[in-house]
Amino acid sequence: MDANALHFRKMNGLGNDFVVVDARTGALVLGADAVRAIADRKEGIGCDQLIVLESSEAADVFMRILDADGGEVAACGNAARCVAAVVAQERGRADVTIETENQVLGAHVGADGQVTIDMGVPRLRWDEIPLAEAFHDTRHIELQAGPIDAPVLHSPAVVNVGNPHASSSSDDVEAVDLGRIGPMLEHHPLFPERANISVVQVLSPDHVKVRTWERGAGLTQACGTAACAAAVASIRRELTGRTVRTTLPGGDLVIEWREADGHVLMTGPFALDFEGTLPAELLTPAGV
Ligand SMILES: N[C@H](CCC[C@H](N)C(=O)O)C(=O)O
């Protein structure tokens, strides 16, 4: 692969945005510095996550997910919809599969442009999130954020949908200073792998509002896995039914926690914003 002319797609799912590069034709080595340089909104292309497509033995494509801070993670719901759309077009079929670090996702690309991802069965045990301490009821864990005077998110529910999430109920998600509380909780010692932090406002038995501070990316316009985690948490707390419309700052996703097999299905849009070529200096940032 010619590292001096790396094609990329700029894509988004409800404003959660990605630089998508294709490494299926040749090895691509991207250090954390290069990921941060590409994700930089002032001097790079700018994105919440960098997505690398690789060949897979188990699925139509392998999706690597690198957060804007350079950390590699195992799940990204909004990106999965974007990748599914790319691969479905290549393969000429609506149903495709996406392998990630810890699971194979099924995807259906609808003629209406909505994409459904089968996110699998959520993990709910404290050691599957993971948490550093044992909590036997993960619908409510006690968490003090930072110093005693710091605002505390009320007893979040924790869920792993391929990545760790803490979702706290709020009467007004817009009033929560998530930019301040988010990083405190993301790095809380209870989360040995850090966590994505959300606040969830139940609007009706089939509709919630969600805002998220993403691990490794900060406040984003949408977080697909957080929408899944918030829906699972609300269903476990018997605040909603098993199909929930989740309204994120960037728009709506529909989440179903299917009774028959316990799988979580996420449905929503994708978008291709533009295509381009990554300049070599972003791939090997100066001083690296
Ligand atoms: N920041 C997340 C990964 C991206 C998740 C989000 N973009 C989504 O759509 O699920 C994490 O570190 O687990």
Spell out the per-residue pLDDT of the chain, length 288, in tens: 555 579 999 999 999 999 999 999 888 889 999 999 999 999 999 999 999 999 999 999 999 999 999 999 999 999 999 999 999 999 999 999 999 999 999 999 999 999 999 999 999 999 999 999 999 999 999 876 655 555 567 789 999 999 999 999 999 999 999 999 999 999 999 999 999 999 999 999 999 999 999 999 999 999 999 999 999 999 999 999 999 999 999 999 999 999 999 999 999 999 999 999 998 778 776 644
Number of residues that make up the chain: 288
pLDDT at 280: 79
Indicate if 228 belongs to the active site: no
| pTM for the structure as a whole | 0.95
pLDDT of residue 142: 82
Give the residue, out of 35, 163, 248, 270, with the most ligand 1 atoms within 8 A of its beta carbon, to mutate for a pocket test: 163
**Backbone angles phi and psi of 264, in degrees to 5:** -100, 125
287 is in an annotated binding site: no
Reported as a single tens digit per residue, the pLDDT across 174-207 is 999 999 999 999 999 999 999 999 999 999 999 9
What was the ipTM of the complex prediction?
A: 0.92
Known active-site residue 47: no
Cα–Cα nearest to 227, from 216, 240, 282, 108: 240
- Asked whether residue 215 is marked as a ligand-binding residue, the answer is yes
CA gap 132, 111 in Å, rounded = 44
Model pLDDT, residue 143? 78
Give the C-alpha separation, 47 to 51, whole Å.
10
pLDDT digits (tens, 9 = 90+) for 103-128: 999 999 999 999 999 999 999 999 99
| CATH numbers and ranges of domains, the chain | 3-120+271-282 (3.10.310.10), 144-262 (3.10.310.10)
